[in-house]
Structure 1
Amino acid sequence: MDADKFYVSYNTVHKLVKGLAEKINASGFDPDVIVAIGSGGFIPARMIKTFINRPIYAVGISYYGMDNKHKTHPTKIQWIDEVAEQLKGKKILLIDEVDDTRATLAYCVGELLSYEPEEIAVLVLHNKLKKKDVEFPPEIKRYYPALEIEDMWIKYPWDAIDIDEHTACEAEMLKNINK
């Protein structure tokens, strides 16, 4: 287990998403549609659909080139132009796994605002407690992070080679945190 990494199991993701669904319901936000940012937002978006049952649109945003080198800004690699008209006047729940630099989330928000939705709320599993490269525009009034954590590498279960080892690493990490 790497001590400088934060391990998250599928069970933990499910519990975080369920808690987020409860927060959304308690806040009175009733989205018309979910927009999942790929690839990290796909699984949390599908899980939240279980609790709030809304259609999911998937978008692909890349901050890395084909050579895996960091680019200066995010770019669209897959978008929802075919359904853009359906977003006008709608409430959108935008989902990604982590709010790290915020560049990808803010870029996606900016693109979605061009479709004139009634409201966009942002949901993430983890918000890293660090200075963000960009802030959300003032139109974003609802932000739902499940957990706020220090700035460290997060190991999500969908990136695991050996899921049993990954889950054991999470258990060990939690045991050390709770000492």
Structure 2
Amino acid sequence: MKCVVVRWGDAYRLSRQMALNVKKAGYKPDLVVAISRGGLVPARILCDVLGIMDLVSVKVEHWYVTGEHTERAVIKYPLNADLTGKKVLVVDDITDTGSSLTETVKHVSTLNPLSVKTATMQHLIQSSFKPDFTGEVVKDWAWFIYPWNFYEDLSNLTLRLLRNHPELKGDPEELSAWFRRYYGIRVSRKRLREAASMLCERGLTKWEGKALVLA
């Protein structure tokens, strides 16, 4: 599975560009709805760039683990607000399957807004949903590892390697090599140790000497 690590500077640049594209189009939202969790940071940056004070969120569950998702996104914690007469902008980090945005727009539309538009930091052209605004169009699919889900993704990707490759010893140096080979990214041994500790705390793995193994 091809992965791409997005640094904080790049995430800010893309979020800012997303906001500027909204401004350029002349759309002036009264309120921004962030899709939690991925859309929270991009939405806050957009609000800062555009000077928008009202920011709320809706919790959507779709990607239950790195690179794996349910067939359809589900609204776990819906909005409890009257959006009557308001121009709304729904924000997420990326359009992948498009299901999260599709379900969120349906939900927001039931709250009587004047209009609903969508914006994402990145847009995968393979997605079934095309946002009204985006910071960047991505042609080739990859799993983007953002700063706000860095350790979560590292942990899940490590677990995937251990489950799919029993021959893997699991020491940080070997894990680093396997990350380059299977995911195409360079991750330091220090970061992998930290991710491994998270897995151990969750009871999913354990240390046997210097090797990380499934619990």
TM-score range normalised by the length of the shorter chain: 0.7 to 0.9
Structure whose alpha-carbon radius of gyration is higher:
2
> What one-letter code is carried by the residue in structure 2 that aligns with 1:61?
V
Please say if residues 43 and 91 of structure 2, whose CA atoms lie closer than 8 Å, have aligned partners that are also in contact. yes
Query: What does 1:89-168 correspond to in 2, within 5 Å?
Result: 89-132=85-128, 135=129, 143-149=132-138, 150-161=140-151
TM-aligned CA distance change 1:153 to 1:123, over 3 Å: same
Hey, what's the Cα distance between the residues in 2 that align with 1:13 and 1:69? 22
TM-aligned CA distance change 1:64 to 1:20, over 3 Å: closer
> What are the ranges of 5 or more consecutive residues in structure 2 without an aligned counterpart?
152-184, 187-215
Hey, what's the Cα distance between the residues in 2 that align with 1:16 and 1:65? 25
> What are the ranges of 5 or more consecutive residues in structure 1 without an aligned counterpart?
137-141, 162-168, 171-179
TM-aligned CA distance change 1:69 to 1:20, over 3 Å: closer
> What one-letter code is carried by the residue in structure 2 that aligns with 1:77?
K
TM-aligned CA distance change 1:77 to 1:16, over 3 Å: same
TM-score computed with the length of structure 2 as normaliser? 0.63
Shift of 1:143: 0.7
Shift of 1:65: 6.1
Hey, what's the Cα distance between the residues in 2 that align with 1:65 and 1:6? 19
Hey, what's the Cα distance between the residues in 1 that align with 2:36 and 2:93? 9
Question: What whole-Å deviation, never above 9, does each CA across 1:77-134 have from its counterpart, x for those lacking one?
Answer: 11211x1x2x1111111000010010110010011111121111111111112152xx
Superposition RMSD in Å: 2.4
Match of 2:170 in 1: none
Match of 1:52 in 2: 50
TM-score computed with the length of structure 1 as normaliser? 0.75
Count of residue pairs the alignment pairs up: 150
- Calculate percent identity across the aligned residue pairs: 21
